[in-house]
Structure formats: C-alpha cells, structure tokens
Amino acid sequence: MTFFLQTQKLKKMSKRYRNVVVPITVDAGTNSGSVVVTTESGFIKRAMNAFSTPDKAGMVRAAIEGNNGEKLAEMQAIEVYKLRNVAYETDGVPMNVQGGGQIAFKVLATDAFRVDFVADLILIYGEEEPCNC
C-alpha cells in the first residue's frame, strides 16, 4: 500500500502593533473621574498609562470596564498600568478584547487631587499579518 502525503506551505505570520492614545484629565479638588472611549476596530491586546502622580493624592487606582459593565481590568494600583518601554507584549495590563465598542477608564484616589491629574491611556492593538520573511 502506498501513501501520499500532501504538504501545504504555511505562510509565516508576524505581529503588527499599533497604539491609540486617549488623553485623560481628572480635575483638581476631586478624587475620581472616568472617560468613556469608543475604541477602533481591531484586537486590543493591552492597555497602559503614561502619567505622573500628583503629590498628596494618596493611593491612586484605575480600572477598565466594557460597555456592559464587564471588568476588563480590575481596579488596581495605577502603577500596574505604567508604561515601562519593555515590549508591547508585557507593558501595561492585558485586555484581550475586540475593539469597536466602548470602554470606560476609571481613576480613583484615596485623597482629592490638589492639581489636575493628567494622563494618557494607551490602547495597544495587535494584529497578525502575513510576513514576507
């Protein structure tokens, strides 16, 4: 008996990343704020945040929720979101959600901010594409 094995050439894939930056401001005199973001289509891999914590704000925490209240990233120390310039695969917090809907980014401090809290929410989209390598 003779067997024939048909091989299929697999295309190599590579990851292409892009980011979308959303500016955020929480007013001085308050200890919380949120921004609702309509996300672009694509697969959101991670979220990170570039910020500087104002003096005497106490503990600052952040969370991300989907438009149905689904917790995409639990309320946690905002430093977990901090951009470390290591790699798109490891910076920030994992999201792993399809874009094209709305998300809410929430900030909560134990004390009122003495000055405006200003930050950038950075959404990292990761997509597979054929590689000519």
Q: Which candidate, 11, 17, 27, places its Cα nearest to that of 48? A: 17
pLDDT value for 51: 86
**pLDDT tens for each residue of 57-112:** 789 999 999 988 899 999 999 988 887 776 667 788 999 999 999 999 999 999 99
Q: pTM higher than 0.85, yes or no?
A: no
State mean pLDDT over 21-31: 93
Q: Where is pLDDT greater, at 25 or 90?
A: 25
Confidence of residue 17 (pLDDT cuts 50, 70, 90): confident
Q: Where is pLDDT greater, at 57 or 39?
A: 39
Give the burial class of 130: count Cβ atoms within 10 A of its Cβ; 0-12 exposed, 13-18 middle, 19 or more buried. exposed
Q: How many other C-beta atoms lie within 10 A of the C-beta of residue 89?
A: 12
User: What domains does the chain contain, in order, with CATH numbers?
Assistant: 24-130 (2.60.120.380)
**pLDDT tens for each residue of 1-15:** 555 555 555 567 667
Residue keyed to tokens 């390598």: 133
Query: What is the 3-state secondary structure of 103-127?
Result: EEEEEEECCCCCCCEEEEEEEEEEE
State mean pLDDT over 108-118: 93
Given 3-state DSSP classes, what are the helix, strand and coil percentages for the chain, each rounded to the nearest 5? 5, 55, 40
